[in-house]
Structure 1
Amino acid sequence: MFTGIVEELGTVAGVEEQGDAIRLSVRAGTVLEGTGLGDSIAVNGCCLTVASTDGDTWTADVMQETLDKTSLHGVAVGDRVNLERAVTVEKRLGGHIVQGHVDGVGEVLRREPSEHWELVEVSIPTGFGRYLVDKGSITVDGVSLTVVEAKDASFTVSLIPETLARTTLGTRKPGDRVNLEFDVIAKHVEKLLAGGYLKEQA
């Protein structure tokens, strides 16, 4: 589990093709502190398992399912990526509950810079608009953000200078693909209501 508060920007150091998977190597610093084999690190919002470490570089195996459903498909050496270690019980929940399980890929539609912040609009896959509400939470490339305006096929967020400077969202441009994870609580509530479970318990 994660919070959507990016700890650092890492750099892709290697991409080894393995047929139906890739072995991804990422150069980092902060997220390697106290991290061991089998631990989880979110890369652009995708929960990956540390397979090995070597100095300031760690590797993870990324299976075909993840490549098919996320923007990690096509990742290249030199790309910057958002990194966050799994949350511990002692850590403040500064963002919201993030699983690192990407629901789909959106596309940056437009950016409107302002003096102190920037408005960004992102498209959403068909059918996911029901999970968004104004002032609700959304995870974009692993970053916990507050929805400004929820639309049927897109949403907008306002990015403060800290987010622009410390995450990949500062350099994403119209046409770029981003990983999206919608609020897991909304998805569970929908399933309960659709199945009549809450009515049965009443």
Structure 2
Amino acid sequence: MFTGLIEEMGSLRSVQRRGEAMILSISASKVLEDVKMGDSISVNGVCLTVVDYDRQSFSVDVMPETYRLTNLHSIQTGSVLNLERAMMAGGRFGGHLVQGHVDGTGTIRSRTTEANAVAFAIEPNDARLLRHVVQQGSVTLDGISLTVVSVDRQLGTFTVSIIPHTLRETVLQHKHAGETLNIECDILGKYVDHLLGLRDGQSPSKTGGLTESILRDNGFM
């Protein structure tokens, strides 16, 4: 489990590709301070397991399912990556609950500056992800815990606004229109939607997601 607060940006040292499987070696410093074999580290929002490490880098396996579902398949040697260690019990919890289980990718449709902020409009590559994206709710992009500013269901996009600190400390500084980001929707919203969708034997795909009437019928309003 993670919080979506990026600890540092690492650099892809090398990549071994075997079809849709990969072994990544990533240069880092802070996340290596107390690293152990088998630790979980979020790499661009993807929870991966440390299989080897030294004082300057660590290695992780990427399986075919992760290769297909995330933007890790497109990274090259030298690529900059967001890194976060798994959260510690008793530590400060400044973001939101992040599993590191990516739901899909999204394409940046625009990047605009407004005063001290930079707004990114994201179009999920799977339109169904928008059902779990709520204005003023939380979403994770490349491992970063962010607040949704707006959702445009007609255009099929949502917007997040980035403060200068987040832009400086994450890979978003390098991202522009046309590039992809890993998306993880809020786990609480996904579970509520799923459980309500199973009522009366219905599947979530047939209920159309959360509605005001469903919330009222189940005592939430």
TM-score bracket for this pair, using the shorter chain length? over 0.9
CA deviations on 1:74-106 (whole Å, 9 max, x unpaired) are 211000000000001121110000000000000
Paired residue type of 1:193: L
Q: How many residues align?
A: 201
Gaps of 5+ in 2: 201-214
1:107 & 1:19 partners in 2: Cα distance? 24
Structure with larger RCO (C-alpha < 8 A, sep 6+): 1
Counterpart position of 1:27 = 27
1:151 & 1:83 partners in 2: Cα distance? 30
CA deviations on 1:158-200 (whole Å, 9 max, x unpaired) are 1000011000011100000100000111111011111128989
The answer to whether the aligner puts 1:146 opposite 2:142 as a matched pair is no
Counterpart position of 1:133 = 134
Q: Report if aligned partners of 2:20, 2:68 keep a CA contact under 8 Å in 1.
A: no
| Match among 166, 169, 173 for residue 176 of structure 2 | 173
Report the identity percentage.
43
Counterpart position of 1:87 = 87
Paired residue type of 2:70: T
Determine which structure has more spread, i.e. the larger CA radius of gyration.
2
CA deviations on 1:12-54 (whole Å, 9 max, x unpaired) are 0000112341100000000011110000000000000000002
Counterpart position of 2:114 = 114
Gaps of 5+ in 1: none
Q: Report if aligned partners of 2:3, 2:87 keep a CA contact under 8 Å in 1.
A: yes
Counterpart position of 1:96 = 96
Q: Report if aligned partners of 2:20, 2:67 keep a CA contact under 8 Å in 1.
A: no
| 1:133 CA displacement | 1.2
Paired residue type of 1:41: I
Counterpart position of 1:16 = 16
CA RMSD of aligned residues (A): 1.6
Task: Compare the two structures and name the one with the higher helix fraction.
Answer: 2
Name the SS for the 1:192 alignment partner: helix
Counterpart position of 2:36 = 36
Name the SS for the 1:37 alignment partner: coil
Written as runs of structure 1 = structure 2, the 5 A alignment for 1:73-84 is 73-84=73-84
2:194 & 2:168 partners in 1: Cα distance? 38
Paired residue type of 2:133: L
1:98 & 1:138 partners in 2: Cα distance? 9
Structure 1 ranges of 4+ moved more than 2 A: 197-200
The answer to whether the aligner puts 1:184 opposite 2:187 as a matched pair is yes
2:41 & 2:128 partners in 1: Cα distance? 28
| 1:119 CA displacement | 1.0
2:77 & 2:20 partners in 1: Cα distance? 19
